[in-house]
Amino acid sequence: MIIVHHLNNSRSQRILWLLEELAIPYELKLYQRDPKTNLAPPELKAIDALGKSPVIQDGAQKLIESAAIIDYLIRRHGQGRLQPDPSTAAYDQYVQWLHFAEGSAMLPLMLNLYVGKLGEAGAPLHPRINSEVANYLSYLDTALSQSDYLLGDEFSAADIQMSFIGEIARAQGKLRDYPHIAAWIERFQARPAYAAALKTGGKYDFAPH
C-alpha cells in the first residue's frame, strides 16, 4: 500500500489528486501546519530529514519531490496512464512541464509571497519579481491558448504538476491578463478526481470557492 505523507494546504495535494485520477489505493498520513508559523510540524522530519511534503512510501521505497513522485507512480502503478508514449516528442514536452513547474515558475511566485511580508523593505525587489512572474505566466498562458490542456486536448499529469502554479498565481491576484490560465484552472478543478482529493486532503486554500 502506498503511503502519502500529506501536509494540509500544500503542494502535496497534487499527489492525492494524481492517485485519485489513477484510482490507485493509498493510505493517508495527514500533518497540520502550525497555526502561528504556517510551517510543517516537526513530525515530518521523522519521515524525511527535510521535513517537507509530499513524501510517499511504497514498501522499502521512499520518495520526495512532486515531479519525481508523479513519474514514479505512473511508471510503477499507473500503467503509463496520464502521460504520452515515451517514444514520442509529446513525452519530451511532458517532462519539460514536469520540471518547469518547480524549476522555473514557482520561484518568482514564492518570492512574491515572502517578499510581500517585508512591507516597504521589500519594495525594491517587487519590479524584478513581477517581471519574472509575468514572463512565466505569459509563457503558460500562450501554451494554453492553443488547447484545453498543456499537451493538447487530453488531460495529463503535466496539468497536475503545473496546477499549483495556476492556483497560487490566482490566489495572488495575478491572472487578470491571463484568461487562458484562468479557464484551464476552472477545467481541471471541475474534474471528479480533483474533488475527491479535496475531500481526503483537508484544508486547501486554493480550491474553488
C-alpha cell at 15: 499527489
pLDDT of 88 reads: 97
Enumerate the β-bridge partners of residue 50. none
* Mean pLDDT along residues 155-178: 97
Enumerate the β-bridge partners of residue 61. 58
pLDDT of 35 reads: 87
Q: What's the CATH number for 89-191?
A: 1.20.1050.10
| pLDDT band of 209, cuts 50, 70, 90 | low
**What pLDDT, in 10s, does the model give residues 11-70?**
999 999 999 999 999 999 999 998 888 889 999 999 999 999 999 999 999 999 999 999
The one-letter amino acid at 196: A
Strands in 61-64's sheet, in edge-to-edge order, are 26-31, 2-7, 55-58, 61-64
pLDDT of 122 reads: 85
**What pLDDT, in 10s, does the model give residues 131-153?**
999 999 999 999 999 999 999 99
* pLDDT, the chain, mean: 95
User: How far apart are alpha carbons 7 and 126 in whole angstroms?
Assistant: 29
Of the candidate ranges 28-37, 100-109, 179-188, the one whose mean pLDDT is the lowest: 28-37
* Mean pLDDT along residues 89-101: 98
Of the candidate ranges 74-88, 109-123, 194-208, the one whose mean pLDDT is the lowest: 109-123
User: How far apart are alpha carbons 133 and 78 in whole angstroms?
Assistant: 33
**What pLDDT, in 10s, does the model give residues 55-76?**
999 999 999 999 999 999 999 9
User: How far apart are alpha carbons 68 and 72 in whole angstroms?
Assistant: 6
Judged on CB neighbours under 10 Å (0-12, 13-18, 19+), 153 is: exposed
Q: Where are the domains of the chain?
A: 2-82+193-201, 89-191
Q: Yes or no: say if 193 and 21 are a contact pair by the CB < 8 Å rule.
A: yes
Q: Residue 195: helix, strand or coil by DSSP?
A: helix
Give the H or E element holding residue 68: helix 66-77
Is the pTM higher than 0.75? The answer reads yes
**Cα–Cα separations (whole angstroms), residue 180 to 2, 98, 144, 173, 185:** 35, 19, 6, 15, 9
Task: Assign domain 2-82+193-201 to its CATH superfamily.
Answer: Glutaredoxin (3.40.30.10)
